[in-house]
């Protein structure tokens, strides 16, 4: 068995002794098990092309290959085509798409740059795993350089409907690039169906089966592989004593208050203003909970140099102020809004101390926050997850309260249902949800995907998650 080569827009710092999220844990475990390379952008931006040497670092049997982006690549490849074209389109926001020819040219050229960086280090028996929408052309670029390795692609965000994807400029080229991979992995069954329908309507690819597509003389495997988290580690962190959080929990107990929590990147796909409005509707609809319900919205900064993000930040701040201005009392403010990164060791016990986890994105590939909220709960007195039906996690987590995030009244009623739910029902729902999250953790995800990539057979994976 050859080495594993992972290519992603960003890489984890393998040399830092810090906690990393469940997704990175799965990748790091796979790399250490097989030995290999992790290649991508190092996170820095420089002025000129000639100042972008490849950094090579070795940690045990894993080597990292990283390079800076030039300011032009950062503007046109990363902020441009990746995040002003692909991101909004794949999240069903064609109205926010900002397409320019120089964006796609730079996107193609930057993928070629990454391929040039990796190519000299590849061996014939390496298995290559490419991640996410930033690097759709990667297999085509490696094929141009003569590499015949098995190359897999995993899309972390949703794959949109056929109509939406066909509205993306250069979608035919993107389709060609995707079909240069040996395995295309999606988060959900719905994503697979959307891709099939697009191929049927916009290509001459032959759909052999739900898992196989034939193009010319090549067979491409397709599967859905829902991402998991490092459940044991997150549960362990959530159970640690944090004096500040414990004191606040005790204060709420004495005052007969409960906490609703949301934690997301500040992104228009997350539906953050809709949640704030739903909480306001809940307070209007159930005045008996005024003075007793605390809503904590953590929105970590994200791509602040994209106009759409500054707009949503301003809207959230205005809404939080309006709700507090209308409902707050001298010893109670209903909304706490935090616009900064909160470390996992703080976030996990906050999840555990919250009666309700409000996870209602307008569209999401999976949403690991939903799984983290479940993992963090006290089995004896668990909280309730309210989950958007447009999050990929909803395919798995059916015991959550599933809602339409666009329906403010429906989300408000779900909040009332959660508050009044008997302990026995909360425990039953939690047991079922936790078992599913444990069974399909980060390690399960990488094992299933890599088995399908290495053996050209993902039937077992799809049978398990169906």
Catalogue the active-site residues.
Answer: 156, 364
For residue 443, the tally of other CB atoms under 10 A from its CB is: 16
Phi/psi for 429 (5° steps) reads -60, -40
Burial of 329 (0-12, 13-18, 19+ CB in 10 A): exposed
Residue 298 to residue 295: CA distance in whole angstroms: 10
Rounded CA-CA distance 447/63 in Å is: 20
- What is the spatial distance between Cα 448 and Cα 464, in angstroms, rounded to a whole number? 10
213 strand-pairing partners: 207, 220
Element housing 300 (H / E) = strand 293-300
Question: What does the block give as tokens for 443?
Answer: 């390690």
48 vs 45, 82, 107, 112, 202, CA distance in Å?
Answer: 9, 21, 17, 17, 40
Residues 380-404 as b/e (b if ≥16 CB within 10 A, e otherwise) read eebbbbbbbebbbbbbbbebbbbbb
The alpha carbon of 59 is separated from its chain's Cα centroid by a whole number of angstroms, namely 27
DSSP code per residue over 213-274: EEETTEEEEEEE------HHHHHHHHTS--HHHHHHHHHHHHHT-EEEEEEEES-GGG-HHH
* Residue of 256, 251, 250 whose CA lies nearest to 419: 256
Q: How far is CA 435 from the centre of its chain?
A: 21
Tell me the longest C-alpha to C-alpha distance in the chain: 72
Whether residue 318 contacts residue 278, with contact meaning beta carbons closer than 8 Å, is answered with no
Q: State both tokens at 403.
A: 């809602």
Could you give phi then psi for residue 268, rounded to 5 degrees?
-65, -20
CB 138 within 8 A of CB 113: no
> How far is residue 246's CA from residue 242's CA, in Å, rounded to a whole number?
6
């Amino acid at each position: 068995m050859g080495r594993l080569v992972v290519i992603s827009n960003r890489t984890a710092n393998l040399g830092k002794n810090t906690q990393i999220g469940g997704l990175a844990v799965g990748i790091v475990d796979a790399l250490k098990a097989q030995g290999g390379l992790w290649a991508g952008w190092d996170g820095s931006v420089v002025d000129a092309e000639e100042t972008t040497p490849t950094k090579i670092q070795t940690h045990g049997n894993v080597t990292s290959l990283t390079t800076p982006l030039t300011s032009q690549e950062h503007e046109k490849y990363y902020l441009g085509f990746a995040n002003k074209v692909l991101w909004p389109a794949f999240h069903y926001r064609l109205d926010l798409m900002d397409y320019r020819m120089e964006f796609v040219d730079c996107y193609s050229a930057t993928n070629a740059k990454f391929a040039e960086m990796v190519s000299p280090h590849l061996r014939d028996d390496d298995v290559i795993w490419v991640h996410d929408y930033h690097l759709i052309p990667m297999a085509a670029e490696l094929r141009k350089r003569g590499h015949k390795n098995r190359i897999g692609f995993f899309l972390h965000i949703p794959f949109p409907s056929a109509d939406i994807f066909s509205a993306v400029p250069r979608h035919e080229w993107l389709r060609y690039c995707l079909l240069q991979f040996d395995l295309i992995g999606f988060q959900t069954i719905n994503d697979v169906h959307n891709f099939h329908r697009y191929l049927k309507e916009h290509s001459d690819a032959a759909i052999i089966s739900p898992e196989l597509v034939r193009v010319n003389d090549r067979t491409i495997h397709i599967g859905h592989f829902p991402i998991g988290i490092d459940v044991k580690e997150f549960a362990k962190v959530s159970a640690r004593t944090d004096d500040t959080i414990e004191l606040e929990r005790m204060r709420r107990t004495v005052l007969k208050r409960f906490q609703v929590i949301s934690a997301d990147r500040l992104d228009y796909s997350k539906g953050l203003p809709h949640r704030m409005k739903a909480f306001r509707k809940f307070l209007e609809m159930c005045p008996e909970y005024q003075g007793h319900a605390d809503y904590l919205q953590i929105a970590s900064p994200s791509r602040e140099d994209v106009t759409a993000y500054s707009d949503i930040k301003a809207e959230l701040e205005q809404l939080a102020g309006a709700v507090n201005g209308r409902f707050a009392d001298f010893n109670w403010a209903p909304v706490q809004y935090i616009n900064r990164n909160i470390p996992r060791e703080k976030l996990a016990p906050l999840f555990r101390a919250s009666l309700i986890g409000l996870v209602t994105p307008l569209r999401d590939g999976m949403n690991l926050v939903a799984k983290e909220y479940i993992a963090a709960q006290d089995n004896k007195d668990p909280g309730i997850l309210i989950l958007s039906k447009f999050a990929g996690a909803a395919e798995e987590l059916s015991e959550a309260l599933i809602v339409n995030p666009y329906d403010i009244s429906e989300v408000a009623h779900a909040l009332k249902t959660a508050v009044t739910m008997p302990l026995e029902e909360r425990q039953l729902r939690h047991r079922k949800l936790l078992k599913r999250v444990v069974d399909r953790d980060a390690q399960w995800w990488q094992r299933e995907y890599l088995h399908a990539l290495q053996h050209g057979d993902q039937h077992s994976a799809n049978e398990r998650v169906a």
